[in-house]
Amino acid sequence: MHAHDPQPMEFGPLGPLQGSTRVPGDKSISHRALMFSALARGRSRIQGLSGGGDVMSTAAAMRAMGATIARAGDGIWEVDGVGTGGLLQPAQALDMGNSGTSTRLLMGLVATHSITATFIGDASLSRRPMNRVIEPLSRTGAEFTASPGGRLPLTVRGICPAAPISHSLKVASAQVKSALLLAGLNTPGVTRVFEPIPTRDHSERMLRHFGVDIQVEERDGGRDIALRGEAELEAREVQVPGDPSSAAFLAAAALIVPGSEVRIEGVSVNPLRAGLFELLQLMGGDIALDNPREVDGEPVADLHVRHSRLRGIQVPAHLVPSMIDEFPIWFVIAAFAEGTSRAGGLGELRVKESDRISAMAAGLAEIGVRAEESPEGLAIEGSGGAAVPGGGTILSQLDHRIAMSFAIAGLHAQRPVRIDDMAPVATSFPAFQSTIEGLAA
């Protein structure tokens, strides 16, 4: 059902990267913009929506549950919502493709509506455990039938009215937090979530933008979030900023390829997402955040990145949650720094689209970089800015970030780096290759 023809590709030096560019709309914000617009009364308009496969999985699911979603002119999407509580019974299984975010957040939505939905996905998504969402959502009264190990295919039987829950997250996770808040929208009373470490707060910011009563208080280094249920979402205009996870690949290329200077316009610099850029500045990276501004409650800036001599670093623990998706590309950047770089506390990377710690360690070895794997992280010996040996074939394991990370490594390698399959890149950054080639022209 999800078989695709692999797209092997080679990446070698293209010379310095120069000029200005934009990246796709932020994936996390795009998912939420579609979901909240679909629950609102009236017509919302979304500008800058990510066109990647993951976000299109969310659009298809919201259509299957009654929302009207259409692409208008000028890259604007129009969504006619069903109102909170108005989701319809989908006629068939909801195909989530490769999108863990779509799956976990929509499980929360379905849990408190009187509908039953079955979630299916590709081979990579079907390996990912869903128990940490199933467990707290079960306390609303919803019922879950999952495949062994809490995996897809998985069926949710929603309940309405549901019971509001108070939940303290054991592991910091924006997806679990968001699933519980989405469940709370159609639940009487107040739903409360405590997170011990602040995680990306796009749901809280955007729910407020749609008129939901949501309160956030700092407590014990974490955050208490309270959402008043049976919320009426009002249709809104939403502008989605550029995706920092996509921008990270272009920033990495500019930092490691001698003579490069790149400007990436309109990128989300939400402090709970922009940890990578802060870390790269600590390593000596020449990265300026120009023209800072706020767009629909989200902080945005233009990134100005120049080739830099980078120093090896131990990643500070407090930055880990705000760059969890960017570690694959950071491992590649570390391969070009002076000395050894280390990161720990990354256990969550073992249950992403692939086991990202093992996949990156194997790939780095393949291109001649010394990396030592530990249960929770990696230590990487850098080249001091020199080109890495390159060569070899990288097994991307259906993981878009692994594929793109090693493509960037190839731009400053002695021999071209071959990626076994670039097809998964379409889930998040369909124009990745043409954007790189455009900057190199």
Determine the Cα–Cα distance for residues 416 and 197; give it in Å rounded to an integer. 41
Q: Please, what is the angle between helix 400-410 and helix 327-334, to 10°? A: 20
Chain centroid, CA 205 distance in Å: 16
Collapsing DSSP to helix, strand or coil, 439 comes out as helix
Exposure on the CB side of residue 210, measured as CA atoms within 13 A: 35
Cα–Cα–Cα angle for 77, 274, 349, nearest 5°?
Answer: 95
Q: Quick count: other Cβ atoms within 10 Å of Cβ 145?
A: 12
Q: Does 356 appear as a known binding residue? A: yes
Q: Answer yes or no: is 263 a known binding residue.
A: no
Beta bridge partners of 192: 166, 226
Token pair, residue 87, equals 């989701």
DSSP 235: P
Give one word for 284, left, alpha or beta, with left for phi > 0 and alpha for psi -120 to 50.
Answer: left
Number of Cβ within 10 Å of residue 70's Cβ equals 11
The verdict on whether residue 421 carries a ligand-binding annotation is no
Q: Is 128 annotated as a binding residue?
A: yes
Is residue 352 annotated as involved in ligand binding? yes
Whether residue 325 lies in the annotated active site: yes
27 is in an annotated binding site: yes
**8 Å CB contact between 84 and 38:** no
> Is 32 marked as a binding-site residue?
yes
100 annotated as ligand-binding: yes
For 89-117, give one letter per residue: b (16+ CB within 10 A) or e: ebeebbbbbbbbbbbbbbbbbbbbbebeb
**Catalytic residue, candidates 26, 95, 201, 325:** 325
Which residues lie closer than 8 Å to 337 by C-beta, 6 or more apart?
A: 283, 310, 311, 312, 313, 382, 384, 385
The answer to whether the annotation marks 177 as part of a ligand binding site is: no
Residue list for the binding site for 3-phosphoshikimate: 27-28, 32, 173, 175, 325, 352
Catalytic site positions: 325
Provide the annotated binding site for phosphoenolpyruvate.
Answer: 27, 100, 128, 175, 356, 401
